[in-house]
Amino acid sequence: MALHTHPTHHPDDDLLVAYASGDLDEAWSLLVATHLAVCPICRSRVEAAETVGGALLENIPTDDLADLSDDALERALERVAATPPDFVGERDGSGSLICKSTSTVTPVLPQPLRDYAGGDVGELEWRRLGSSAFHIPLVSGRGAPAARLLKIPGGTAVPEHGHNGLELTLVLAGSFVDDGERFARGDVETADTDLEHQPYAEAGSDCICLAVTDAPLRFRGPMARLVQPFIGI
């Protein structure tokens, strides 16, 4: 039975708006861009934010802008309905969920993440992280938000990979469960690392994630603050 799936856990709207406004640091931009590659819903929201942002720059009167933002969102959502998913989930003989592309084989790492990492998951040099997991640092700036790929064997706990602040984890393969909630391909978990939480990868296959830690430095730039009221955030 083919099962059409879109992500069910998305980045916060203010992160999407900041992305549309070009206000995000590298690590956060990478995570949002990767999520957009597998999430037509968020693509439409970013498009709406860009449309409204462009209109603001062109000094369109505010009254017209209110109509425009409704309109832009509606049109964008219509496009979502017409967009086929880039993969479908199916159960194989043993009952595990496998991802099958609707056309050719879908890489685990969507663009632009694949370019960033230098290949798809099978071609990368994974480094050990703790006793059972592996990782590949992708963006590491002194004091700036950091991004890394994580590979956690099914049935084991996700190792601690942040310290203080915000932590976003985007699932690319397999799945993990945190506090009773399940996260699978395309899903983004937003966690405050001060919270006690111990996610674990579900048995069956490796869980591959993109994890970004530390508070974004320019989370709400001037453009994001301008756009937010018009798309109802």
Asked if 15 is part of the footprint of Zn ion (rule: CB under 5 A), the reply reads: no
For residue 226, count CB atoms less than 10 angstroms from its CB and return exposed for 0-12, middle for 13-18, buried for 19 or more. Answer: middle
Minimum Å gap between C-beta 17 and Zn ion is 13
Asked if 42 is part of the footprint of Zn ion (rule: CB under 5 A), the reply reads: yes
Comparison of 112 and 159: residue with beta carbon closer to Zn ion: 112
Minimum Å gap between C-beta 62 and Zn ion is 29
**What binding mask, one character per residue, do residues 157-196 give for Zn ion by CB under 5 A, x or -?**
----------------------------------------
Comparison of 39 and 224: residue with beta carbon closer to Zn ion: 39
Among 17, 27, 39, 170, binds Zn ion (CB under 5 A): 39
Task: Identify which range of 1-9, 65-73, 113-121, 150-158 contacts Zn ion by CB under 5 A.
Answer: 1-9
Comparison of 76 and 133: residue with beta carbon closer to Zn ion: 76
Asked if 32 is part of the footprint of Zn ion (rule: CB under 5 A), the reply reads: no
Minimum Å gap between C-beta 19 and Zn ion is 11
Asked if 10 is part of the footprint of Zn ion (rule: CB under 5 A), the reply reads: yes
β-strands 127-129, 181-183 pairing = unpaired
Asked if 148 is part of the footprint of Zn ion (rule: CB under 5 A), the reply reads: no
Are 10 and 97 contacting, i.e. CB atoms less than 8 angstroms apart? no
Minimum Å gap between C-beta 152 and Zn ion is 22
Minimum Å gap between C-beta 127 and Zn ion is 29
The residues near 124 (Cβ < 8 Å, ≥ 6 apart) are 117, 118, 136, 149
- Measured over the CA atoms of residue 111, residue 98, residue 84 and residue 180, the dihedral's sign is negative
Task: Give me the residues that bind Zn ion (CB under 5 A), please.
Answer: 7, 10, 39, 41-42
